[in-house]
Chains A and B, each alone.
Chain A
Amino acid sequence: MKKYWRLITLALIIALMAGALPTALAQGPLKFWTFEYADAVDPFFTAYVDEWNATHDLQVERSEFPWAQYTGEILTTGIATGEAPDVFFISPGDWRRYAENGLALPLEDYMPQYLLDDLLPASVEAVTLNGHIYSVPFEMEPVVLWYNKSIFEEAGLEVPTTWDELLATAEALTTSDRYGILIPVNPDYYENFVFYPFLWMAGGEVVNEDFTAAAVNTPEAARALDLWGTLVREGWAAPTSTGNDPTDERFPLGQGAMFVSGYWVYGWLEASYPEFLEDLAVAPIPAPDEGDELATVYGGWTVMVYAGTEHPEEAAEFAIQMFGAEDNARAAAWGIEYNTKLSPRQSVLEDNAEFYTQFPHDAFAHEIFPTARAEPSYPPEIAQTVWEALQDVMFNNVSGEDAAAAWAEKIDAYLATR
């Protein structure tokens, strides 16, 4: 009998522990997740989390994950296993899925009025769905045409302003050990992101405004596809990527004369190839024809609060105050001191007017940004059709027209299942 009592006691203890464990976890700290930033950026987060923890009962614990995992499986796995973070950074590529599926906490009721007045309307619109604000925008990184001044001077060429000029310049600057231009060629979200300005400037769109039908089976979309197809097929653009797509070592090494990429390139070059900065110049992405309106895209992560959080109030406050505190110093430091990014808060631009008179920040703030549109957030099923069309024109010898037709068919097939 004694033996049984022992067993029963043991079983009870185990059962109690198992029951108590989830509650203990739920009361644990507020979880804040980001991808792994460069070491130089870390103090930004440490300072903010420390400041929060010193003034709040509910402590915050930050975790960072390698880029590939963060943009891959880590958030998904967290949600599936009930271990989702309370506050996390979300990419525009993933944003819609989280917002549409009720995984993001609507933040409009927590957003202070001064912040709503300060944020650029377009940046708020980019994180709004059906009248709800699902994340806090804090950075904007427009895409431009970087070019190597020395190579252009040597060749006696001007930076192109139309697509015909772009093709001619890319051809003229291509040699046996140099590409005329570098564009992202790996089938991925990033390739789509850089392609959107070309599509928009040609007058194309991916889907119609109501999100009910494809808008790509047009001569405009075909023309944009053909431009990229021609560049790669003719060998004027590199058919491969090196390193991570958003950066490309071949550019500072003089193996690419032009480079379509974002504002972040400047920070990267400053840190890794400072001597190259003398050769660096920036221009807007050329428009199809002379006089056409310029357009570009800006990317940038936003802060989201998990809808299932146990502490919506604190989580929302933590997320909003990170870049949205009344004093905009932290928001400004993020883009000026720790990174090269523009802030969606207009006051940051006004209060740091001096900084935004310097190269290349002047161009980004005053020339490029006014033409920029937020990166659209498409579901993965549609995003995939964009890079498939691009891959077809670049690597399968498909004409822009045929690729655009097939592209539209795939989008419509998907939209029919929604």
Chain B
Amino acid sequence: MATSTAKAPPRRGLRDWLNHLSGMDRDRLEQAIVGYLFVLPDLIGLLIFVAGPMIMALVISLTDWKLVGEPQFVGLHNYEIIFKDPKFGASLGRTILYTVSFVPLVYCLSLGMAVLLTRRSRSNNFFRTVYFMPVAMSLVVAGVIWRFMFDPGNGLINELLGAVGLPPSQWTGSVQTAMISVIIVSVWKSAGYFMIILLAGIQDIPTDYTEAAEIDGANRRQIFWHIILPLLKPTSFFVLVILTINALQAFDQIYVMTRGGPAYATYTLLMYTYEKAFREWNFGYAAAMAVALFAMVFVLTLVQVRYFRSGEIRD
């Protein structure tokens, strides 16, 4: 694994890069240009639809903009309010609670499903479809179905709990259990997707390693912990980063199920941002919250990159 970092090209500045281009012979230059032309459509899309709005958000966050009239430049004022705003703190807290439960749960569940599906078996296709089905289902439909299942009076889940002798719960109807309910649904909805990615990762691992381990007498558990899991690190890294980003941006699933209620029990940071922007038309403040969220995602991703890099060297 360490080899992959060693192979990485040395970092270059813009001038080096230009020198590099001008030093090329005609053929190679042409090749390079063709290559860049190929990535150009994506690059343009990325600049216009991702980088552009991000910069705009940053600019808007420095203004007081109420949709009507021109934005007024207010410097860092919006950021100052963020830290005094109890609603921001509370919704951030709930978002973090959601993230620390959602990410490990989805990762473990999808990894478990992926491992089960790597065994050669005829039923694989069937289970793969079943596990993936929630991903393909429309968010709104899923939200409605789960609301029915969570219904405290007639819901399927309470019926099942009753059948095995457990007491019923209020689920989304109570401040204490609403968050758990939306986490259950979010996990159910996303696990299938990440299973597919992890499955691809596992299938990419050359069978030589596992076969060699088997010959050496390793059992299934040992192969999983000492061969598959370490070799799956790049995939796991990708999955965990995407999961964390998804969790911090949790919105639609919860919005469909509870509208952030009851009594704000499932009100996340993005919901608050949305409300400030599209209901109160306080775009400057909303943009500042979006930038703050971006900063958090960015820092967390950096930490994750660090962690996984350090792991690579140890291996």
Beta-carbon nearest neighbor of A190 in chain B = B259
B263 near A394 (CB under 8 angstroms)?
yes
The complex places the Cα of A384 from the Cα of B271 at a distance, in Å, of 13
A240 near B173 (CB under 8 angstroms)?
yes
B147 at the interface (CB under 8 A from A): yes
Given contacts A240-B171, A242-B148, A250-B154, contact A186 B68 (CB under 8 A): no
The complex places the Cα of A238 from the Cα of B262 at a distance, in Å, of 12
A392 near B147 (CB under 8 angstroms)?
no
Q: Which of B148, B150, B171, B260 contacts A187 (CB 8 A)?
A: B260
B153 near A395 (CB under 8 angstroms)?
no
B119 at the interface (CB under 8 A from A): no
Name A372-416 residues within 8 Å CB distance of B.
380-381, 384, 391-392, 394-396
B79 at the interface (CB under 8 A from A): no
B170 at the interface (CB under 8 A from A): yes
- Sample of 17 further A-B pairs with CB below 8 A, known A80-B67, A80-B283, A395-B262: A73-B274, A76-B67, A97-B281, A101-B66, A185-B262, A187-B259, A187-B263, A238-B173, A239-B174, A240-B150, A240-B151, A240-B152, A242-B144, A243-B144, A255-B154, A391-B264, A395-B263
The size of the chain B interface, using a CB distance under 8 A, is 33
The complex places the Cα of A249 from the Cα of B151 at a distance, in Å, of 12
Return B289 CB to nearest CB of chain A, in Å: 16
B278 at the interface (CB under 8 A from A): yes
A188 near B259 (CB under 8 angstroms)?
yes
Q: Which residues of B contact A103 (CB under 8 A)?
A: 68
> Hey, which bits of chain B sit against chain A, CB under 8 A?
66-68, 144, 147-148, 150-154, 170-175, 258-265, 274-275, 277-281, 283
A347 at the interface (CB under 8 A from B): no
Return B189 CB to nearest CB of chain A, in Å: 17
The complex places the Cα of A79 from the Cα of B69 at a distance, in Å, of 11
Q: How large is the interface on A (under 10, 10 to 19, 20 to 34, 35 or more residues)?
A: 20 to 34
B259 near A73 (CB under 8 angstroms)?
no
Beta-carbon nearest neighbor of A245 in chain B = B259
Q: Which residues of A contact B261 (CB under 8 A)?
A: 185-187, 391, 395
A255 near B153 (CB under 8 angstroms)?
yes
The complex places the Cα of A243 from the Cα of B259 at a distance, in Å, of 12
In order of increasing CB-CB distance, the 5 nearest A-B pairs are A239-B173, A395-B263, A391-B263, A395-B262, A186-B259
A178 at the interface (CB under 8 A from B): yes
B263 near A239 (CB under 8 angstroms)?
no
Beta-carbon nearest neighbor of B171 in chain A = A240
Q: Which residues of B contact A187 (CB under 8 A)?
A: 259-264
Return A8 CB to nearest CB of chain B, in Å: 23
Q: Which residues of A contact B275 (CB under 8 A)?
A: 380, 384
Q: Which residues of B contact A380 (CB under 8 A)?
A: 275, 279-280
Name A166-225 residues within 8 Å CB distance of B.
176-179, 185-188
Name A238-259 residues within 8 Å CB distance of B.
238-243, 249-250, 255
Q: Which of B66, B68, B153 contacts A238 (CB 8 A)?
A: B153
